[in-house]
Amino acid sequence: MTLYICFWLAVFGGCIGSFLNVVIYRLPRRSFLSKARSFCPSCGATLRWRDLIPVVSWLMLRGRCRVCRAKISPRYPLTELFCAALAPLCFLRFGFSWMALITFGVVTVLMAVTQIDFATMEIPNGLVAALVPFAAGAVWAVPGVPLWERLAGFFAVSLPMLLLALAVNGAFGGGDIKLMAVCGFLLGYKMTLLGFFIALLAGGGAAVFLLLTKRKTRGASIPFGPALCLGVAAALFFGGELLSLYMRLYR
């Protein structure tokens, strides 16, 4: 029965991933509602239903548009695969619960934030707003985190980031600050601080790698949003275990 449930959750997740690809492509271009049907970014041809089956269509088309034969980025099937894996993982981690639904919703939005921030160095306000219902729902769905901890989480990271951004030009973007404010309310201050610590490790490691491989030069801007998204996702999935491990190390 578990395998059967996971299969259909994977199908559902793949469909969400397909929609997420539309969001990732159109939102930075401010064309989300300009054309209802999916289309090829190269030639503009409207895609048929058989071109929109998650992962399968990309494989059948061998990664090329049916009309103009332009290459289709592997980002599309990878995003669909990610969401297809995420849905059953949330079920296996949290069971049939509101926490599973909230975690799936939050992480899919964070995936969109990550890809858009990588491409544009901006985090759209619409994606931050999309996290608000999940953060509000967590108050009811996860009663183990008191409201005062959530309010403290709202400011725990976002306020220092804001002050640092005001003191040092370009230290953090406004999107990063708003993202951590909403995620702070979602997680509570303990998990928010943990997620930010993970983000610092991930972001610092990525920056060193890019500098060593000369993909970035000293002083170049590097998006921090993806590292923040990774930290928040890790805190959602494994925060309790990571905090327990940390406490055991320093007893």
Q: Across residues 22-43, what is the average pLDDT?
A: 78
Q: Quote the CA–CA distance of 84 and 21 in Å, as a whole number.
A: 13
Q: Across residues 115-131, what is the average pLDDT?
A: 94
Residue 55 makes CB contacts below 8 A (sequence gap 6+) with 14, 77, 80, 81, 84
**Structure confidence by residue, pLDDT tens digits, 202-247:** 998 988 888 788 777 776 778 899 999 999 999 999 988 888 887 7
CB-neighbour burial class of residue 195 (10 A; exposed 0-12, middle 13-18, buried 19+): buried
**Structure confidence by residue, pLDDT tens digits, 84-105:** 999 999 999 999 999 999 999 9
